[in-house]
């Protein structure tokens, strides 16, 4: 059996401001770093063989913190990047409305297409599924990217809840296909020292 764990990166200042991050290289803020450390303490008890991460800074920082605790190999892969947000990248909803009006979503904002995201994401999943058979692989990436992949891998799963920062979603694959073992798990964030 192969297990894949998907981790959404820790929170950034742009997350808090509601800015579309896309492929902008935004670092974790202080809270995001704490979130990653708390998750690392929980993951340390698990059995992860390798960590892959998006090469964007917010995911890379999260992965480095996790990998330091796990003591495994870390590999960066640009196929794990967030969806490109085109013309709205770096903008809040209010700024988009000011720029293009309330119906801005009906305009061509040059977002990366869903087909493009699924193509690069599935190419990566197929590759690591073959390369790491019967291993536990941790992937640090981004909310929209992970959600689109999950819905492709498990089309009848009804996973509509937005992924929280540093959430863990775990899937396993056997001869019958993929199954979701854990979705959007964030118990590590309940630790009170996050807010001290």
Is-catalytic flag, 9? yes
**How many alpha carbons fall within 13 Å on the CB side of residue 90?**
6
Catalytic residue among 31, 41, 44, 82: 82
Distance CA 20, CA 17 (A): 9
Distance CA 195, CA 189 (A): 10
Torsion angle, alpha carbons of 100, 101, 102, 105, to 10: -20
Residue 107 DSSP class? S
Helix (H, G, I), strand (E, B) or coil at 173: strand
Helix (H, G, I), strand (E, B) or coil at 68: helix
Q: Mark the binding-site residues for substrate, compressed into ranges.
A: 8-15, 58
Which residues are part of the catalytic machinery? 9, 82
């Amino acid at each position: 059996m192969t297990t894949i764990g998907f981790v959404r990166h820790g929170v950034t200042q742009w997350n808090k401001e509601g800015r579309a991050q896309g492929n902008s290289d935004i670092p974790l803020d202080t809270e995001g770093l704490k979130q990653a450390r708390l998750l690392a303490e929980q993951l340390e008890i698990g059995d992860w063989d390798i960590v892959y991460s998006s090469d964007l800074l917010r995911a890379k920082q999260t992965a480095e913190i996790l990998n330091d605790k796990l003591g495994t190999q870390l590999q960066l892969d640009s196929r794990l990047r967030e969806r490109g947000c085109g013309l709205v990248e770096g903008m809040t909803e209010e700024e988009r409305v000011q720029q293009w009006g309330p119906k801005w979503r009906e305009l061509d904002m040059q977002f990366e297409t869903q087909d493009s995201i699924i193509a690069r994401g599935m190419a990566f999943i197929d590759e690591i599924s073959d390369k790491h058979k019967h291993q536990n692989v941790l992937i640090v990436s981004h909310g929209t990217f992970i959600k689109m992949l999950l819905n492709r891998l498990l089309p009848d799963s009804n996973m509509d809840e937005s992924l929280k920062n540093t959430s863990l979603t775990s899937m396993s694959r056997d001869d019958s296909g993929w199954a979701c073992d854990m979705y959007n798990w964030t118990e590590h964030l309940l630790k009170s020292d996050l807010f001290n």
